[in-house]
Each structure stands twice: as C-alpha cells, then as structure tokens.
Structure 1
Amino acid sequence: MNGADIAHSKYILVDDARFLQIGALVYRIKNENLEFLLITSRGSGRWIIPKGWPIPKKSFSQAVLQEAFEEAGVRGVVETFPIGTYEYEKLNLPVEKNSKFCVYVFAVLYSYQEKKWPEQSQRMYEWVTVSEAVKRVNEPQLKEILLRYKPC
C-alpha cells in the first residue's frame, strides 16, 4: 500500500476481523527537537493522532491530509508510504459491530494550522516531545512508531 492508492470504499477489511483506517503522524522540528501533534478523541478524551476512514475516490495520502485538517486544522506534506501500522479496539460498540481496527500511519510534515476547522470545538490539541507523546498514547504499536520515527 502507498499513499497514491485510491480507496474504492470507505470500509475496507484488512483481513476478516479488522477495518482499515488511515492516520496522520503530524510532526515538526522546533528548536532542533522533534515534536508530534496529538489530539483528543471525541468520545473518551484520550490522546491520539488524527485518523479516520479512507475516502472513496481519494488517495490514502489525500485522505490523511483531510483527516489532519478536519481534526486538527493542520496543513502539511504527507510522505508517500505508511511508516507503520497499529491496531486498536473500540470498546463502546455493540457486540454485533466490528470493533477492531488497523491504522496505516503516514508521516505529515507540518506546514501551518488554519484559524478554523470542522472539529475545532470537539477536540484539544497539543504539540509534545517524543517522550511525552509515548506517555500519552495508549496503543503499544503506536508508541513504537513514535519512538522509531526519524524525519528524512
């Protein structure tokens, strides 16, 4: 999979049990230090990266940039290939719904933040160091991605 691939459906099964989502690891270099942008989820308020469903007829790269904008107001440059994947489960879904997800993470070099964006009033955001990001996110595989990532 790469960022140029076009989604033909919003709901794509990675295998028999997990839905594919795309995530934006938004980063910047400030005072020679790598920082990541984390946002809060709308439901539980836990710290996550911007993520969501593929968008039919758009490339995964386009969808990643749209999620970064809708959830955090971010504009940036996305890398072509995913830098990793992580899995998570939503515990608040009915038993008959598929609650397992596999997120393909794309790095996004931060350019700027819009003054207004769709989910601005629904989420908090914060720029944090690598070590702080690792403390805040829950998913072990996402922690590994944060620790491993080195910008080009």
Structure 2
Amino acid sequence: MQPVRHSGENRARKEQKKEKHPHHETSCHFGSQEHRSGKFRINSRRGMEKMSHRLESFTERATLYAEQTRTADQSTGPRAGDSGLKLDRIDFGLDMHRQLGTLCWKRKNDRLRILLITSRETGRWVIPKGWPKQHVPDADMAMREAWEEAGVTGKIAPRAIGTFDYAKVMSREADIEVALPCRVEVYPMEVLDLSRRFPEAKQRKRGWFSPAKAAALVDEPQLAQLIAEFEPA
C-alpha cells in the first residue's frame, strides 16, 4: 500500500524546489515604453548576468554622452536642444531616434509668419514635435502633434522638407543630463484655425514670428536654417 502524503509535506517539497531553482524578477524599461508587461523572468545565473551586462552597457553609453556634454568645446555656443549642445559637434555613440515635427505657418498682410511654442520643461522656443505611431501616416501624426501642443489645425504637406537633430532629455540628476539623440522630420502646415482650448494649453506659450525672428529664437542650427529658408509651395 502506498503511503499517504499529507498536504503539509507537499508544501514543504515545493518550497525546497523553489530554493533550489529561484526565479529572479526585474523590471526593464526602454525609452518611454515597457517591454510587454515590463517584467522579465530570469531562470538562471547566466540569464541574470546577460541582463546585467545589457543594463551596464546602456549606462556606460549614457554616461559617455553626459561626459561629452560637460567637456564639449565652449565654442559650440548656447546650449541647443533640451540638453543643450549643437549636435553637429557631438558624437553621441547612440542610435538616432526618429521624431516628427510640424512647421506651422500662415500669411498675414502678405507676410509669412511662423508659429513657435515653448517647451514644457525649459521654456525654449520650439516647434511641435512627437513620436511616430504605427499604422498612422507620418504627416497625419505631425498634424496631430500640432493640435495637441499648439492648438492649430490646417493643411499639412505630404512630405517633409528636411530634418534637424536635437537631444531630448530623459532624466536630470545634479549637473548631469541623460539625453536621447533624436532626428526630427519637419512637415510644413498652413494654419487655418487657432484654438484657445487644446490638450497642452496650460503647459505652453505660443507666438507668431517672422521667419528671421523665429530662426533666431530656436536653438537648433539645422531647424533655424529650415525656418530661414522656408518658402511655402
């Protein structure tokens, strides 16, 4: 006759197995999204070491960028982008991340005017911009960003007129900034309507400027050139 095992013994055996084969659980974030549920289950020491190596590699590259921003030549001038520097003088060592921007314009008394908005963190003058979205045409996404950040609607061009680079700050700690290098594709849009109420109305200011004035106000040299040379089709 087989001996009867009590539930208490079964629980004890399960606990012993857990002690022999522990599962380590950690969270991993990449950019602004979490991978699946945000958790990886690692079942071996080798897997844990591999994950640690990946995190260390990212930290080293981010630290390298931070050191570059602190030791860059002062001739780069005023800090450009959300982190600062004129990006044609910086070797990021990181992949460029793609964004979509909107160059909003109108004519007033036969004079071209450019719309700029302030950034939420630093108050710099910038253009509306954001991330592309799967299954949404780039031009449509750029127009959506213009509405959310500037409260404008209008007629957007189907193709970008150029790009500019900047560093999007992801975190700040003491005097060190960790930033994500981004390349923004710029879509011109003729503004047909300007709303007082829009999603980020309380977080930003906006203003109309001549192309020369707008080019002087933005920090990114590539964007300044796009604005200065812009002529509506």
Short-chain TM bin: 0.7 to 0.9
Relative contact order, CA 8 A, sep 6+: which one is greater? 1
Structure 1 length-normalised TM = 0.85
AA of the residue aligned to 1:17: D
Gaps of 5+ in 2: 1-31, 34-93
How many angstroms apart in 1 are the aligned matches of 2:189 and 2:225? 17
AA of the residue aligned to 2:171: L
Partner of residue 149, structure 1 = 230
For the aligned residue pairs, the C-alpha RMSD in angstroms reads: 2.2
Gaps of 5+ in 1: 1-9
1:22 equivalent in alignment to 2:105: no
Q: Would the aligned equivalents of 1:86 and 1:141 in 2 still touch at CA under 8 Å? A: yes
Q: In structure 1, which of residues 71, 74, 78 is the aligned counterpart of residue 152 of structure 2?
A: 74
| Overall identity of the aligned pairs, in % | 35
CA deviation map 1:62-108 (0-9, x unaligned): 1011000000110011101100100001345368x661000000000
Structure 2 length-normalised TM = 0.56
Partner of residue 131, structure 2 = 53
CA deviation map 1:88-133 (0-9, x unaligned): 01345368x6610000000001110123100000000000101110
CA deviation map 1:28-47 (0-9, x unaligned): 01111111000000010100
How many angstroms apart in 1 are the aligned matches of 2:160 and 2:99? 12
Shift of 1:17: 1.1
Question: Per residue, is there more helix in 1 or in 2?
Answer: 2
SS in 1 for 2:115: strand
Q: How many residues align?
A: 140
Shift of 1:55: 2.0
AA of the residue aligned to 1:20: R
How many angstroms apart in 2 are the aligned matches of 1:114 and 1:27? 15
Q: In structure 2, which of residues 215, 218, 223 is the aligned counterpart of residue 137 of structure 1?
A: 218
Q: Would the aligned equivalents of 2:170 and 2:179 in 1 still touch at CA under 8 Å? A: no
AA of the residue aligned to 2:197: K
